[in-house]
Amino acid sequence: MSSSSQTPSELEALECHFTWVKEFTRSELLHMKVKLEDIGTDEGNFWLGSIYNMWGFVLYKLDSSEEALQFLNKATETLKRLREEDEGPWLVVNYGNLAWLHHHLGEEAKCQDYLSKVGALKSKFPSPSQDELHPEIYAEKAWTLMKFDKEKKQLAADYFQRAFNMQPDVVQWQSSRVIALASAAKHWYTDLSDDLLQEIRTAREQDPENLYVAAVELRLRKRKGETVEDEAETLGQKILLQPVNSYSGLKPLLRLHRQQGSLDEAIVLTEEALQRHPNERYLKRCAALCYKWKVLGFWGDQADQRTIERAIQLLKEVINLYPDTSFAKKVDLADVQAKSTQGCTKAEQMYKGLLKTENLDPANQQLLYSSYARYLYFDCHDSNKSIRYHMMSAEIQPRDLYGKKSIEKLKKILDNGTNQMCREIREFLEQLP
């Protein structure tokens, strides 16, 4: 892969993926590639051009320049076809990506050609003011940040709002805004604002075909104490009739079932979906998630061996179907194995293998140590060793979800005050950055 030694200022000034997404690991790129694959390429998807656009960027960063060019060209064709026009502001980001790609490939003439095309589009379709981007650019920037950076979901929601304020007829932008907000709130356990819930209700009314928004709205209404069981059942049957993809609404509906303690209904729904589409890996992933929730007994019920065996089977299939991004599922499999007839022997063997994994990114390290700590405590009844691994999880930077969970667990042990390691835990927590 060739590249010019210097990047022209015109490229740095472009609004496109190459300037929006600066910091990432190979693991994050692989996860993004998988997410794009699972969104699917159904022709009815409003974001299909954006999907191909981001796919091209991700493939280039994964050292697949030829494929990257194919996907960016496919994005151009798709955007023109969906908008039924040969030019428009929705091509600015795509042409910016193509300019960057050809620059990296050392094809400066083609790079300059796309820079000229970007300039022509910006002149013909100017933004409302010098201080603002065109709404089409705000929308694609928002969609990109929502997918690529979990820390910027609120910023993504703000960009969607700016775009929607300028063009309120594009209801998909409002729907995407509330999806970003709900995703940012996924792990909130505090009361949700009435304003957020009303905004999601409005989005559902204005975009009634978006079943993902419908599922998100039901889940948040349930968290506010409303009764939504009948609506959830009706929505589940609608989702089964839709093309399989990660925005069908299935995942938030399954989380709703989990939230209301109806995991059996979630399992029935995913099994019915698999009967209709037995080879869809995304459905197997959803089913594996439901069985994991059931087996690990977060609600105190005990799973039978048949359920455990089905969970093990699905997790093994998912690991094979997602070879580049399956580390978390391997951890899940070890946890589920601990509940099987083979018990801790098999689980310990698996965990020992996982602990030898090299070059884990910080997020997966925290997941592994935190999960192993939980396993040591609940399945092996080794409290002190469990604390050691929670400490290992907590001290990894940058601190992610599981590192924070380990800190919460350590604080809980300290507050209880009965463990012989309390003094060591206190000193450890005090010195954490």
**CA distances (Å), 375 to each of 162, 191, 331, 337, in order?**
46, 31, 10, 11
The torsion defined by the Cα of 28, 34, 36 and 38, in degrees rounded to 10, comes to -150
* Cβ-contact 114, 98 below 8 angstroms: yes
Closest CA to 163 of 38, 15, 23: 15
pLDDT of residue 177: 95
pLDDT of residue 95: 98
For domain 9-124, say whether CATH 1.25.40.10 is its number: yes
Domain coordinates in residue numbering, the chain: 9-124, 360-433
Angstrom distance (rounded) from CA 376 to CA 387: 9
**Which long-range contacts does 386-391 make (Cβ < 8 Å, 24+ apart)?**
387/413, 387/419, 387/421, 387/425, 391/425, 391/428
Q: How many Å is the Cα radius of gyration of the chain?
A: 24
pLDDT of residue 390: 98
pLDDT of residue 23: 87
Angstrom distance (rounded) from CA 270 to CA 254: 9
Give the CA angle between residues 187, 199, 400 to the nearest 5°.
20
* Cβ-contact 392, 426 below 8 angstroms: no
pLDDT of residue 187: 53
pLDDT of residue 150: 80
Using 50 as the pLDDT threshold, list the residues of the chain that sit under it.
1-5, 189, 300
Model pTM score = 0.92
Closest CA to 62 of 82, 34, 83: 34
* Cβ-contact 274, 283 below 8 angstroms: yes
H/E stretch holding 312 reads helix 305-321
pLDDT of residue 15: 97
